[in-house]
Amino acid sequence: MDALPLKFEELGNARTFSVHELQISAERNPLDVNRQQYRVWLHEQEAAFITFDIFLPNELNLYEIVVARHLRCRDIGSSVIRFAADLAKSMEKNRLSIRAGQIGEQTKDELISYYKRRGLIQSANDPDLLYFEFAN
């Protein structure tokens, strides 16, 4: 499968989205020194909003992925996870983590299954935590 033509725009204080559900997510996720946030573009359309916790010394936490409703089921979430893994490596982190929780109509179990199908490992000690580990 060909990679989607996505662009990842790191956000600063100006975090205005034209897509309502992306704007709502941006408003409930304040930007601070411990966070990096991105607007994801598919061609000329706002496709997603993503937030990372960057304060952990060896780990990048993908805090939230919100894909615009009208663009779901197009492999954007999978592309975001690949971007997140690449970002973690570029930051010299040895782990990418994601904590599954119910988002909208998707249950926690559905999200855990989704992440596992994309290669993330479910923690034995904390079943809501999934991760990739990278060799140093």
Percentage of the chain surpassing pLDDT 90?
Answer: 82
Higher pLDDT, 14 or 114: 114
Q: What is the pLDDT of residues 7-33, one digit of tens each?
A: 999 999 888 999 999 999 999 998 999
Helical spans, DSSP H, in 20-60 = 20-28
Residue 1 lies in a domain: no
- Return the beta strands (E) in the chain as ranges: 6-10, 35-42, 45-53, 59-67, 95-99, 121-122, 129-133
Integer CA distances (angstroms), 95 to 6, 35, 100, in order: 23, 16, 16
Amino acid at 47: A
Instruction: Report pTM.
Output: 0.91
Residue 78: which CATH number? 3.40.630.30
Range of the domain at 93: 6-133
